[in-house]
Amino acid sequence: MLFGRKKIQTEAPMPQGLIDLHCHILAGVDDGARDDEAMFDLIRLEYSCGVRHICFTPHFNPALFTPKPDKIAESFEKAKRFAEENFEGLSVSLGNEVFIRPDTVDRLREGACRPLGGTKTVLAEFHPTTSVQDIRMNTVKLLSNGFSPLIAHIERYDRLCEPEDIYELKSLGAKLQINTAAFFGDRKKLIFKLVEQGAIDVVADDRHNRERGEPNLGVCYNFVDQKFGRRAADALFIHRPMSILNISA
């Protein structure tokens, strides 16, 4: 498989028991799967890659997507039934990828958007040009209101490129998620360093469709296993996401 100009090893057997807690697979609720067939196809793909729990995280960003709670509930029930009836050992849960705005805590409290699964962890997305100060301030705000931020795809924020700023977010209590594509992008040296130092909590593929071509979780697990070792791969793809979702094997 080619991603950018990097050849990725795909011959290794697919791992098992991976956890995906950031994806846009539910049908017709955001810019992810367009319809039920696309949704079912992506669930099949996840299972074939070794994923055994999917937390669906449709965007909650009222500036771009009109919130559709009824449609989300309907799609989630279809996805859950499809998973249970067709794939042994595959479980699912529901959350949102929440675009952080001044009213986010109020929206979380009233249930307009939701943390991951039944937890208090919020998959928090910021605008790509958001300042480090804004990310820091909102991290503290979420924590002081009883929520735990998991900052989505930290490689995407233009201003968040100094390791000391990233470590400060960790020291405040934020958890950090990267996309599989981050290992092969412009900031891969920084990402490698953060992974080596144990600063990254979760890898997810932020899957919207098949066409975008990012490495799937199974391929990326094998890449991390080869480059950083089995312990790092298990932590990033299995143990830490399970801990965040408060689920067991």
Catalog residues that contact Fe ion under the rule CB under 5 A: 97, 206
Instruction: Supply the minimum distance, in Å, between the C-beta of residue 24 and Fe ion.
Output: 6
> Based on CB atoms, which residue is closest to Fe ion, 155 or 225?
155
> Based on CB atoms, which residue is closest to Fe ion, 157 or 225?
157
Q: Which residue, judged by CB position, is nearest to Fe ion in the bound state?
A: 206
Q: CB under 8 Å to 22, separation ≥6 — which residues?
A: 55, 57, 97, 123, 152, 153, 177, 179, 202, 204, 205, 206
Nearest to 148 by CA among 181, 178, 170, 126: 170
d(CA 3, CA 113): 33
Question: What SS3 class is residue 143?
Answer: helix
Q: CB under 8 Å to 42, separation ≥6 — which residues?
A: 23, 25, 33, 207, 209, 210
Instruction: Supply the minimum distance, in Å, between the C-beta of residue 236 and Fe ion.
Output: 17
Helix (H) or strand (E) holding 79: helix 69-86
> Based on CB atoms, which residue is closest to Fe ion, 97 or 155?
97
Question: CB atoms < 10 A from the CB of 24, how many?
Answer: 20
Question: CB atoms < 10 A from the CB of 175, how many?
Answer: 23
Instruction: Supply the minimum distance, in Å, between the C-beta of residue 9 and Fe ion.
Output: 26
Instruction: Supply the minimum distance, in Å, between the C-beta of residue 179 and Fe ion.
Output: 8
For residue 28, which phi and psi values (nearest 5 degrees)? 70, 25
> Based on CB atoms, which residue is closest to Fe ion, 18 or 151?
151
Instruction: Supply the minimum distance, in Å, between the C-beta of residue 232 and Fe ion.
Output: 23
Nearest to 171 by CA among 199, 211, 132: 199
> Based on CB atoms, which residue is closest to Fe ion, 206 or 214?
206
> Based on CB atoms, which residue is closest to Fe ion, 130 or 227?
130
Instruction: Supply the minimum distance, in Å, between the C-beta of residue 171 and Fe ion.
Output: 25
